[in-house]
Structure 1
Amino acid sequence: MNEVFRALSDPTRREILRLLRARDMTAGELAERFPLAKSTLSGHFSVLRHAGLIVQERRRTSIVYSLNLSAVEETIAGVLSLLKTGRDGKEGS
């Protein structure tokens, strides 16, 4: 889960996720939306992939990125579980 929090800590990566929530996008389409070097964006994609938040697929000559909804759902469930555990511990005191 640490990789997920690291990935989410950057505003550019959060914006990439927001864009991918609407639809799958090619690397080129994403690059058009950010005033960053392609190498910098590639680094952001790498962090998001490593955290399991996005997946990439080669389609002909393009790389297409999509949101990994199951990983996002697992992360949300994990955070809620942590919060619930903390609350339960306080109630029992």
Structure 2
Amino acid sequence: MARAPAKALQDAYEAVFTALAHPARRLILMTLNFEGGEMKAGAIAAQFKHAWPTTTRHLQVLEDAGLIRHERQGRERLYRIDKKRMELARDWLAWFFKNPV
């Protein structure tokens, strides 16, 4: 039974680091962070020169990884950083500093 939680954690790490691998997605997260942790979809899209479908795809990858979530406000979506999920990346990287070679 211990393998299921380990597999779930491994899958979570894979999703988070795959999402963080693309520079546009990292920039979306940084932009959200510097704007107080939440922004409307249109404001996020306005930060980029690429087409709206490209922005939507990046937002979906970040949401699938659990790094952001959205809430509908009328016809708009408000995206927020999920800091709890971001802790996965922080904790994984911290492991290297806790366990020196």
Q: How high is the TM-score relative to the length of structure 2?
A: 0.78
Aligned residues: 86
User: Higher Cα Rg: structure 1 or 2?
Assistant: 1
Q: Is 1:73 aligned to 2:52, yes or no?
A: no
SS in 2 for 1:64: strand
Moved segments of 4+, more than 3 Å:
none
**Secondary structure, counterpart of 1:33 in structure 2:** coil
Q: Secondary structure, in 3 states, of the residue corresponding to 2:71?
A: strand
What corresponds to 1:45 in structure 2? 59
| Contact 2:17–2:89, Cα closer than 8 Å, also in 1 | no
Aligned partner of 1:16 in structure 2 is: 28
- CA apart distance, 1:51: 1.0
Q: Which residue does 2:19 correspond to in 1? A: 7
Identity, in percent, stands at 34
Cα deviations by residue, 1:51-80 (Å, 9 ceiling, x for unpaired)? 111111101111011111111123211332
Gaps of 5+ in 1: none
Cα RMSD (Å): 1.3
